Every structure is written in structure tokens, then in C-alpha cells.
Amino acid sequence: MIDPASASGAVLWGVVAGILTTFLLFLFGLMFTQVIIPWYETLVYRGWDVSGLWVYRQNLGGVDYGYQMALKQHAHRLSGTMTITKSGAPAGPRGDYVQTFGVSGTTWEGFLTLNMQSSDRKSLAFATSLLQVENRGRSMVGQLCYRSSGVGQVGSETIDWTRDVS
């Protein structure tokens, strides 16, 4: 054992104490930002609760598109996942597919802004959406803007999410 009364012992034990203190402060900061602040924000937040499962379906020319979005909410901050399923399309590069996205966004006074980015880095896709909460919190209506793969520019469509209560 190194004697803490010696110069080398004092330096060594000072370094060890500094590393342990840094580690404990890091853990405390992580706990504060990941547990205490979200808990407090949820406690005092009085806006719409949009957490849960949302669905949207459309048929374009015999091709079915199914959208499913699972949102988690901490006060005004939103996160979650979205899946788009295309079925019934002719075979080929624009045929059937399933695309998953990570979702992040915010809500403010009955409106949501959401950013979606593909989870698979081999199939890049991204979209942005501005939605308004309607029908007493049972639907969200707005626009979905995305990079269109067909024409290589920005595309958009109206989207009408419905809360899945099953």
C-alpha cells in the first residue's frame, strides 16, 4: 500500500479521488437530466397528451400505404418510432417495402412539429411534419413533407393521424 503521507502517495490518492469524484458527478448529472427533469416536466405540463399509438392508411391507385407511429412524450418534447408499409405495388425498385423511422419533435399550443429519419442507414429517408391536434385529442391533421424518391425533390401530402385505442 502506498503511504498517503509521501509525495507520490499524495499525488496518487489525489488522482484516484479526482477520478472517483468526476465519475460520481457524471452519474449525478445523468440522473438529474434523464430522470428528475423529465419527471418534473411531466408533473407540471398541462398541454395535450399525444403519447401512444397513431395510425393512418391510404390507398393510391390500388397501392396500400399503412403508417404507424408510436410517440412518447415528456412535457413538450416528443420521441418515438414510425413505420411506413407499402403493399400491392408492382414488383421492381419502387415495389412493396417497409421503412422504419426515428421520430423527434415538440408540441406547443395544440400543434406538433415532428422530424423523422430512417432507422436503416442503407435506405435513407427523412420527413418533417406539422400537425394540429383535433377532435378532442383523437386525431392529428396536417402536412407530411419528405424527399421524394420518384422525382428527387420535396414532396408533400396531407396526413390525418388517428389515435389507436385498441
Residue 163's nearest CA partner among 60, 85, 63, 48 is 48
Contact residues for 33 (Cβ-Cβ < 8 A; gap 6+): none
Helix H or strand E encompassing 11: helix 7-31
**pLDDT tens string 83-95:** 999 998 888 777 8
- Alpha-carbon torsion 116, 117, 120, 122, what sign? positive
Question: Average pLDDT of 136-140?
Answer: 93
**Mind listing the pLDDT tens digit for each residue in 53-66?**
999 999 988 999 99
pLDDT of residue 5: 78
Residue 151 has pLDDT above 80, yes or no: no
User: Average pLDDT for residues 108-136, to the nearest whole number?
Assistant: 92
Q: Which pLDDT score is estimated for 150?
A: 67
**Is residue 149 scored above 80 in pLDDT?**
no
Backbone torsions φ then ψ of 134, nearest 5 degrees: -135, 175
- How many residues in the chain? 166
List C-alpha distances in Å: 155 to 37, 81, 86, 90, 128: 37, 21, 17, 21, 11
pTM exceeds cut of 0.95: no
